Structure 1
Amino acid sequence: MPYPSPDQQPEVTGRLVNVGTALRTADDVLAIRLGAVTRREIDARNAELHVLVGLFADAVLDHARDAATRSVRWEVDRLLASAPGEGALVFSAYQHMHDLARMLRRLASSAPAQGGVTV
């Protein structure tokens, strides 16, 4: 089952997530080491990052029409579609979490004028 499942959706609706918060979230996730985190925590972070990456991608990428932006949009879509299922190894879920965090950092860094997105 790909992330996020309905029971893993983060409760963040109605909150403005600014660029600084997104960058801190990405940095916090990238600081997590595999032996110091449980699978449940990885799954929760994956669900949160999945939502944030989707929102920042919609806010940042959907207005530009050049080839580079379409390429990044394709990359985001593939990343979001490639979430490991429940039966996947812990390392696969951990690696996906890091991939999502790197993409969030990339999207948030390219959106300083946006101010943030409403979640």
Structure 2
Amino acid sequence: MVATHTDIARAVLEATFLSRQQQSKAGIAPLRQEMDQTRRRIAASRELLKRLRQRHRDDVARGWEDADSAPVAVSAFDADIIRKVFHDLVLETGAPECQWRELATSLVHEFTGCEGIEADLVDWIIGSSYQPV
């Protein structure tokens, strides 16, 4: 029996469809594995963030309980982060310069949980070289 052009075209289309179907099934398994791995990484990140927040809350609570304890030390790295947050906050909110000291003080208080804040630290955070855009 001689195959017509229509029969040949149908056979080619059917073979192509089956081939793509098998390829897509083979491609789904690695995709699902990657999705599962991403979900595990997200869950681990959330758990780490939760533990860090809890540790920070515990440290702040301990600071409030120990009224006679030494003042909380702020590392240079932490101070730099607070300064960057302050600058971003001033830019975003457009806070006038007369409110900067109070804003910087509240940021340090929020971070350390300490009432006694060094004036020099606040001055450094505000920084005379800071020029809002």
Structures share a fold, TM > 0.5? Answer: no
| Bigger CA radius of gyration | 2
Q: Which has the higher contact order (CA 8 A, sep 6+)?
A: 1
Between Structure 1 and Structure 2, the one with more strand by share is 1
State TM-score, norm by structure 1: 0.28
State TM-score, norm by structure 2: 0.26
